[in-house]
Amino acid sequence: MERIEQIINEIKDLSEKRFQESREQIVRDYKDNREAIADSIIKQMKELFVKAVEKQENGQKGKIRIFGFFYLNSSILTDTHKYMVSLYDEAFYLDQNEVSITYSPQILIPYYNEDIKFLLDTIKGRYVRIKNYEIERIKFVYIKNYHNLMEKVFCDVLEEITNLPEYYFMLKDENPLFVFGGYRDFAKRMEVKHAVFSNRG
């Protein structure tokens, strides 16, 4: 077994406990600040839809079939933690006129950074010379927890997004597909009913 696998196994319980503590606080913060967080997402979605309509009017974009909400693995390495929202026609990833925006989830980033610092400080107290590739691997494993949270945030505002006038004016399928996952990687269907952060019931 490589050392990094040993490290990840050793801190598994600690990681789960740490994330559960952070998650509880994030849920409280989200409910307290939902309107502002939703507004920040909706504002960027409006800009995205306007861009799409302009391209469609210029004949540069076909009918929208897929709305992709993606995490960017490259942003983990740069510690920017951005997500991309992209609009695709029937070609999906082969769409030559992809329209997209990026979103930085300020509600999550501070907690993630504190969690990683805590885990790395713990590991450095047990192991000698933690290497960069080991740190990167730990980040990639741990951030999956936060991707799951971000998916729920997007799901929670999905209904509001699809009620925007700007959404209405786009040419799109009658039942477009909304997906969440890694950019140009595996993605799964999003459902509004999966939202667990809602303060509306």
Distance CA 148, CA 56 (A): 32
Residue 195: predicted pLDDT: 47
Residue 89: predicted pLDDT: 82
Each residue's pLDDT tens digit, 76-129: 889 899 999 999 987 666 777 789 999 999 999 999 999 999 999 999 989 888
- Closest Cα partner for 151 from 69, 39, 65? 69
Laid out side by side, the sheet with 64-71 consists of: 99-103, 83-88, 64-71, 172-182, 187-189
Each residue's pLDDT tens digit, 163-196: 999 999 999 998 899 999 998 888 899 976 544 5
Write the single-letter amino acid at 38.
A
Each residue's pLDDT tens digit, 140-165: 999 999 999 999 999 999 999 999 99
